[in-house]
Structure 1
């Protein structure tokens, strides 16, 4: 059955789609010409700066100011720095410094790089208040565990990005920081009453909205304290009554990736997309692997839902209109992006300021560096981290205490440096480190995640993130070999 072309174009206007390769396939270019609002790029679309710039220019020519977006938070979540790590510290490091002007300058500089590459929208910043130590999806992506700190830095990050002409997107509404599960895999549930949620989770979103955030991205989480059942992305009470009504947000509501199990695992992406738009989402971020045939199925589901009366046509028109207004802002902000530029050294400066040292750092005459591996998680992906770029005698090992004796033998007569990442979340990693410290009590431990677990050791170094600049700042401190401070992309 053929789709009504008017309804199909309105449905297209709600879509932010991914694609497969370094080159824009025909279905993407035709879809943009047929009204798809924009694209979300991932590391599989990105190679050299020249390739990224050429790709984004081709996408921009396919329609009148399409949204060209990505998840570029800086820190651990980076798409343009997937191979080497980011040249910008992440939110945890910026929160540790607690200088909102540094945060604003950092995000303005990052926005300048994105603008030079041809992007116009960044699905950042995360303004989640990370109060769950075992949170598997936020962690260093949060500015911290204090709502007021997160609020002032979230507002600064929004301002910085949009000063560079890049649409900012405060996420993950109404707050993913109190969860102990990952919404990529399941539907997390936050158990807190309405008073706590308003004071803690919602405060940073109020600040981001007051700072002029043009978009807000939803979370696939359940909060019974806000009167919802099921994911917030599908809850009209949360998106309309709370975000629109109480918080007064008038911009674009963007869904988190619709292919995540927390929202579509039981009902499928097309049906979840219909419910999300009906609930108040204006722009559907479809995820990484939802390609041509599935996009067509989502479009058809939206059109059919209007025909069946399950989705008011006016709701589809409203969403399309908001997305057009966002694209109009981007068009008007073109001079900002043209003038935007990176600030040399701001990322490394911030990473250096975030470093914290407990204990007395020894002079490392013959360092033997052991990196204890840790899973990166779906949001982060496979991004290089650690100190191996600056210490040639580095080994990466599994978090297995049975390896301790072999490592101890190899490190005899050397200065042991142990690098971990969120060791508080992994008992196997802690057990291995404790065994190594039993043989080398004066060893240096470098924590490149959140420094919640601090073992007894010679010196403990906290970087508050695993970005390239976090590693470089720690390497400088420890006397590692000189290395470039930045990468071209």
Structure 2
């Protein structure tokens, strides 16, 4: 049994946001909830369906009515609610291609309405990173694109949509993760741009988000050398206190990216990272949902408490964070009007199409191949077989080396070959053998592969697959 916590202990605990596995509240977290745990972050295993997610959130609040419930629901390929069937929302990348701010607003308002009805307070979205390199390994379709202007406008529309639906938006990964080639889940990226260039190209979407009233900002695990040449932004007082709070005048919640990520030392150093993040000015510590969360919470709590007792971590900073977290739920309210749902046909004009991509009703041979998903996305259902069948095209699904591929018209759906050399080689072999095949690029564009008959769809969520199927059957 946990011993009673002091008021200061509860203040420390108010900054924690762990996760856990499954759709039932585990025993280890119940005492923490009862003693003032600030937040819980939900992941795919917590939300197998809407009914289970609602019951879980109700159970969480039975132990702590004020707990802030967050989720990493970005829309598109990064989803926790629609893992089994694929998301009913498009990727930011395709929305950026469409460049219709009203469409982006409607998409995020609809998603926000679902989150609010489930009882979720805040979602870690939208991504405000501007992709600077075509082969960025981690941002890709999670971004609205490679144009600072497009990203900025659509981030603002997404924030408005979510927050008008009554759900807090949390832009990420401040101060901008798009200008790197490293994946911070594994390595610590360094950005060596001048401050003027970095601000104009990568910080600007965050600046506009702050001016738009965004609820929260997630700090990335990356070194932006123009702001702090030594420390990752997530552990840097120069970035959080001096720049984000001081220069950009942000007064909302500052959330860390997952503290178990390799860029800042991984799980073994999570307690140290938690203390450093709070010392730098973070309000909410995201522990992710992997590994032994009970140990992470206990070790981090003890480590931070020792720092507070010794005077290493001032209590006034913790108290300010606690006030922001406690007051958040009372200030974020539903304020939107009902809007039309997103029609998948609205997405078609965002595709890049070349050659002949139309099919008559009948049977085709279908190959679906992709590389290993990123940690951020995880394993989510994708492909074209269900959607093609829904429009009258029956599919025989084959491996890419099957000898029977020539028996019918061939359709090849793939994604993210730009970061997988063997996959790219397989696609080139298929194109060489079947030059009339239709290829569907359902990830961040693999520009080095440009077959004659091609749809670049900028994502693989279910609604995007529907739009591709509608285009293929277009007359």
Asked if these proteins are the same fold (TM beyond 0.5), I'd say yes
Distance 1:312 1:143, change over 3 A: same
Aligned to 1:303: 305
CA distance in structure 2 between the aligned counterparts of 1:299 and 1:350, rounded to whole angstroms: 48
Aligned to 1:374: 371
Alignment check: 8 A CA contact 1:158 1:208 kept = yes
Alignment check: 8 A CA contact 2:121 2:329 kept = no
Deviation above 6 Å: which 4+ runs of structure 1?
1-4
Superposition deviation, residue 281 in structure 1: 0.3
Aligned to 2:87: 86
Superposition deviation, residue 361 in structure 1: 2.3
Q: Gaps (5+ residues) in structure 1?
A: 398-402, 481-489
Superposition deviation, residue 115 in structure 1: 1.2
Q: Which moved more, 1:205-214 or 1:447-456?
A: 447-456
Question: In the TM superposition, what whole-angstrom CA distance separates every residue of 1:80-128 from its partner, at most 9, and x where no partner exists?
Answer: 0011110000100110000111111110110001112111111111000
Q: Gaps (5+ residues) in structure 2?
A: 389-393
Taking structure 2 as the reference length, what is the TM-score of the superposition? 0.93
Superposition deviation, residue 415 in structure 1: 1.0
Superposition deviation, residue 310 in structure 1: 1.6
Aligned to 2:348: 352
Question: In the TM superposition, what whole-angstrom CA distance separates every residue of 1:430-483 from its partner, at most 9, and x where no partner exists?
Answer: 221221111221211100012242645331101111111111111222249xxx
Alignment check: 8 A CA contact 1:125 1:169 kept = yes
Aligned to 2:11: 10
CA distance in structure 2 between the aligned counterparts of 1:252 and 1:143, rounded to whole angstroms: 23
Aligned to 2:52: 51
CA distance in structure 1 between the aligned counterparts of 2:264 and 2:343, rounded to whole angstroms: 35
Question: In the TM superposition, what whole-angstrom CA distance separates every residue of 1:278-322 from its partner, at most 9, and x where no partner exists?
Answer: 001000011112522321111111111111222111111111111
Q: Does 1:226 align with 2:227?
A: yes
Aligned to 2:288: 287
| Aligned counterparts, 1:4-403, within 5 A | 5-265=6-266, 268-289=269-290, 290-330=292-332, 333=333, 336=335, 345-346=341-342, 348-364=344-360, 365-391=362-388, 393-395=395-397, 397=399
Aligned to 1:487: none
Distance 1:396 1:152, change over 3 A: farther
The 3-state SS of whatever aligns with 2:423 is helix
Alignment check: 8 A CA contact 1:355 1:473 kept = no
Alignment check: 8 A CA contact 2:457 2:468 kept = yes
CA distance in structure 1 between the aligned counterparts of 2:242 and 2:398, rounded to whole angstroms: 50
The 3-state SS of whatever aligns with 2:167 is coil
Aligned to 2:391: none
Superposition deviation, residue 366 in structure 1: 3.6
The equivalent position to 2:445 in structure 1, one of 448, 451, 455, is 451
Distance 1:394 1:69, change over 3 A: farther
Question: In the TM superposition, what whole-angstrom CA distance separates every residue of 1:249-270 from its partner, at most 9, and x where no partner exists?
Answer: 0001000011111123386111
Q: Does 1:434 align with 2:422?
A: no
Taking structure 1 as the reference length, what is the TM-score of the superposition? 0.90
Q: RMSD of the alignment, in Å?
A: 2.1
CA distance in structure 2 between the aligned counterparts of 1:145 and 1:357, rounded to whole angstroms: 19
Superposition deviation, residue 156 in structure 1: 0.7
Question: In the TM superposition, what whole-angstrom CA distance separates every residue of 1:17-57 from its partner, at most 9, and x where no partner exists?
Answer: 11222111233333222111111011111122111111112
Aligned to 1:477: 471
Alignment check: 8 A CA contact 1:371 1:419 kept = yes
